[in-house]
Amino acid sequence: MKRVQYLAIPAWTPGWMMVMAALAVIIAIAGGAVLYMEHQGHWVTGMTNQVVWGMPHVFAIFLIVAASGALNVASIGSVFGREPYQPLGRLSALMAMALLAGGLGVLVLDLGRPDRLVVAITHFNVKSIFAWNVILYSGFFAVVGFYLWAMIDWRMKRAYKPAAITAFLWRLILTTGTGSIFGFLLARDAYNAAVMAPLFIAMSFAFGLALFILFILGATTALNRPLSMELVRRKGRLLGLFVAANLYFVAIQHVTALYMADRVAVETFLLLQGGLYTALFWGGQVLLGALVPLILVFRPNASRCRVRAASVLVVLGGIAQIYVILIGGQAFPLTLFPGMEVSSSFQDGLVAAYAPTAAEILLGLGGFALALLIAVIGASALRILPASLGDGDEATAEIILAEGDPVAAP
C-alpha cells in the first residue's frame, strides 16, 4: 500500500521569512492597538454603554466559529470515511487550533481587565454559558491536539478513530456553545432564539471550509506542490452546500421572527430600515457572501480562480453576517415599555450609533495574523501538508491510498 507523503514547509527560506515577518508586523501593530485601548480605556473605541461588544468581537466570533468549521475536512475524512479528504486531515486539525487561538486572543485582549484572565479560571460560575465556553475552548485544544497526534504518529493508530469522533462531537458542542451565548439573551429581541445554535453550526461549516480552501490554494502555490483540480472543485461544491445550509438557517431565523408580533420591529429594522445593517445583510451577507459564491462553485468546471473568489466572498460575507447579528442586534434599542415611545439621557429608545475605530479593526486583523502565523509555524515544524495533492497516476495513488485504512482500524 502506498503512503501519503507529508512534507513540512521548508522554513527559513526567503519567502518563508517574508511571510513570517509580515505576520509578525501585523501582530505587533495589533499589540500596540491593544496597549492603546487598555491604557486609555474603552472610550477611545467605538464601543459604548449601548453597543458593548464591537468590532473585536466580530472578528473573534468569526475566527472561533471558523475554527470548529476548519476541523470539518478531517472529520469528513475520518468520521465519515471519505478517503479523498484524509490526506488533508492533519492540516484541518492544525488550522482549527490556530483559528481558535487567534479568535480567543482577540476576545481576551478586548476584556476590560485582560490582566485578570486567571480569575476566569479560578472563579467559575456554573450557570454561565460563557464560563462553559472557557472549558469547551480549552478542551478543544486538548482534543484536537490529541487527534492531530493520532494522525501523525502511526503508533497511535488505534486511537485515531475514537480521537476523530471525540473531536467531531466536541466541535459540534463548541459551536452550539458559541451560538448559545446569543440564544440565552432573553431581553434582546434580535437574539433570543433556539435557531441561533444550528445557525452557528452552519456558519462554522461554511467559514471554516472557506479559510481552509484559501490556505490550501495559497500553500500549494507558494510551495509549488501539485494540486488536483478535481479536489479543488469537490471542495468548492462542498463549500456551496455549506453556504446553502447557512442561507437556509438565516431564512428560518428571520421568517420565524417575523411571525412573532413582538419581533416585527427588530426584523423591520434589520431587513428594511437599518441603513448600514440592512445593506450589509442583503448586499454583503446574502448577495456577495452566499448567492455569488453559489453561482461560482456550482458552475461546471469551476476554475481554481473561481473557487478562490468564492472562498474570499464567503469569508467577507461571514464577517458581514456576524456584524449584522452582533452589532445590529445591539444597535436596536431594548424594549422597556412595549408599544410606547421612550427617551432618556441614556439613549433609551434610540438606535445606537456604532462606528468601529482603527484600533478595534487592527486588533481583529491581528487575530487573523496570529492564526495564520500559528498555522504556518505548525506546518513548518510538523509534517502536516501532503507532498502532493496532484492528479495523475502517482499523485492520485498518493492521495487515495491513505496510510492503511484508518477508518477500518479497530
Partner 1 sequence: MSQPTSRRDLLKAAAIGAVAIAPGLTLIAPAAARPLGTGASAANRWGLLIDTSKCDAGCTACVDACKTEMGLTGHDRPLTDSQYIRKVDVTDPASGHRHSLPVMCQHCAKPPCVDVCPTGASMKRADGIVLVDRHICIGCRYCMMACPYKARSFIHEDQSGQKPDNPRGKGCVESCTLCAHRIDAGGQPACVESCAKDGRAAMLFGDLNDPNSEISRRVSTEATSRIRADLGVEPAIRYQGI
Q: Mask 171-210, x = binds partner 1 (CB under 8 A)?
A: ----------x--xxxxx----------------------
Task: Confirm or reject binding of residue 83 to partner 1 (CB under 8 A).
Answer: no
Q: Provide the terminal-to-terminal Cα distance of the chain, rounded to the nearest Å.
A: 19
List all residues 6 or more positions away from 214 whose beta carbon is below 8 Å from its beta carbon.
308, 311, 312, 315
Comparison of 127 and 155: residue with beta carbon closer to partner 1: 127
Q: Give the CA-trace dihedral at 109, 110, 111, 115, to 10 degrees.
A: 30
Size of the site for partner 1 (CB under 8 A): 50
Contact with partner 1 (CB under 8 A): which of 11, 17, 18, 117?
Answer: 117
Distance of closest approach, residue 276 Cβ to partner 1, in angstroms? 18
Q: Which of 1, 261, 340, 408 binds partner 1 (CB under 8 A)?
A: 340
Measured distance CA(226)–CA(388) in Å, rounded: 5
C-alpha cell of residue 223: 510551495
Minimum distance of partner 1 from residue 353's CB (angstroms)? 8
Query: In terms of CB distance, is 351 or 377 closer to partner 1?
Result: 351
Smallest gap from Cβ 120 to partner 1, in A, equals 6
CA distances (Å), origin 358, targets 33, 245, 361, 363: 8, 33, 5, 9
Binding of partner 1 by 50 (CB under 8 A)? yes
Q: Does 261 help bind partner 1 (rule: CB under 8 A)?
A: no
Candidates 49-57, 60-68, 241-249, 308-316; binding stretch for partner 1 (CB under 8 A): 49-57
Identified binder of partner 1 from the candidate list 155, 300, 341, 393, rule CB under 8 A: 341
Contact in structure between 68 and 171 (CB atoms under 8 Å): yes
Alpha-helix runs per DSSP H in 189-263: 196-223, 229-259
Taking the C-alpha atoms of residue 280 and residue 257, their distance in angstroms, rounded to an integer, is 19
Report the nearest approach of partner 1 to the CB of residue 139 (Å): 16
Residue of 2, 13, 25, 128 interacting with partner 1 (CB under 8 A): 128
Q: Which of 66, 95, 129, 219 binds partner 1 (CB under 8 A)?
A: 129
Question: What is the number of residues in the chain?
Answer: 410
Least Å distance between CB 125 and partner 1? 4
| Separation CA 402–CA 78 (nearest Å) | 11
Question: What is d(CA 16, CA 91) in angstroms, rounded to the nearest whole number?
Answer: 18
The piece of 91-99, 158-166, 329-337, 377-385 that touches partner 1 (CB under 8 A) is: 329-337
- Closest contact distance (angstroms) between CB of 104 and partner 1 is 13
Report the residue from 22, 169, 279, 342 that binds partner 1 according to the rule CB under 8 A: 342
User: Binding partner 1 by CB under 8 A: which of 224, 259, 300, 343?
Assistant: 343
Residue whose CB is less far from partner 1, 129 or 371: 129
**Alpha helix positions (H), 260-303:** 264-268, 276-279, 292-298
The residue assigned the cell 485544544 is: 141
Assess contact for 294 and 237: CB atoms under 8 A: no
Helix/strand/coil for 7? strand
Place of cell 458593548: 52
Residue 380: Cβ within 10 Å count: 17
CB of 51 vs partner 1, minimal distance in Å: 9
List interacting residues with partner 1 (CB under 8 A).
Answer: 38, 40-43, 47-50, 52-53, 111-114, 116-117, 119-120, 123-125, 127-131, 134, 181, 184-188, 330, 334-348
